[in-house]
Amino acid sequence: MTVELTGVGAGLEGYAMLAAQVEALLAGERNLVANAAQLSAFIYQEVPDLNWAGFYFVEGDDQLLLGPFQGKVACMRIPFSKGVCGAAARERRTQRVEDVHAFPGHIACDAASRSELVVPLVQGGRLIGVLDLDSPHPARFSAADQAGIEALVEAFLAATDC
């Protein structure tokens, strides 16, 4: 199932293949936790140069709670008012950060992380959570990576009861 990706980004063609694989991987299962676990493992294995890939789900009115992930132990709760994940949840807009240390309010769960891509999970106008990807390389995520990961999130949301 591995797709060979070259360079820093996968390019749109590579992500189109990954999206088709995600659809097949999640087919027949609608459970949020099971599908989140599968997608975080899949991304961690298939997208190069990551040190963390996983989910945070909305808890209450203004907080994210750790969900399935791959990588080192992580922050358990993140308020919407802090960090890149909080910004993505608060603004309901993808955050692509080239240098997390320059991001105001960045939360350093892993000091090795240098760049981050966080995609909000919005279904039916309701924020479900965020998908968070971290890399130990500065400026790891390109516009093609952002579009590709957003497409994977769409496939996840289409396959999952949220």
Q: Where is average pLDDT lowest: 105-109, 115-119, 144-148, 149-153?
A: 105-109
Q: For residue 92, is pLDDT > 60?
A: yes
Q: What distance in Å separates the CA atoms of residue 150 and residue 139, rounded to the nearest whole number?
A: 18
Query: What's the mean pLDDT in 24-40?
Result: 98
Collapsing DSSP states into helix, strand and coil, what is residue 41? helix
Which domains does the chain possess? 14-159 (3.30.450.40)
pLDDT band at 108 (very low <50, low <70, confident <90, very high): confident
Q: How many helices (H) and strands (E) does the chain have?
A: 4, 6
Placement of tokens 């659809």 in the chain: 23
pLDDT reported for residue 4: 38
Angle at the Cα of 139 (from 156 to 151), degrees rounded to 5?
20
Can you spell out the DSSP letters for 26-51? HTT---HHHHHHHHHHHHHHHSSS-S
Residue 35 pLDDT level (bands cut at 50, 70, 90): very high
Average pLDDT (80-95) is: 97
pLDDT tens by residue, 115-128 = 999 999 999 999 99
Give the pLDDT band of residue 2 (cuts 50, 70, 90).
Answer: very low
**What pTM was estimated for this model as a whole?**
0.92
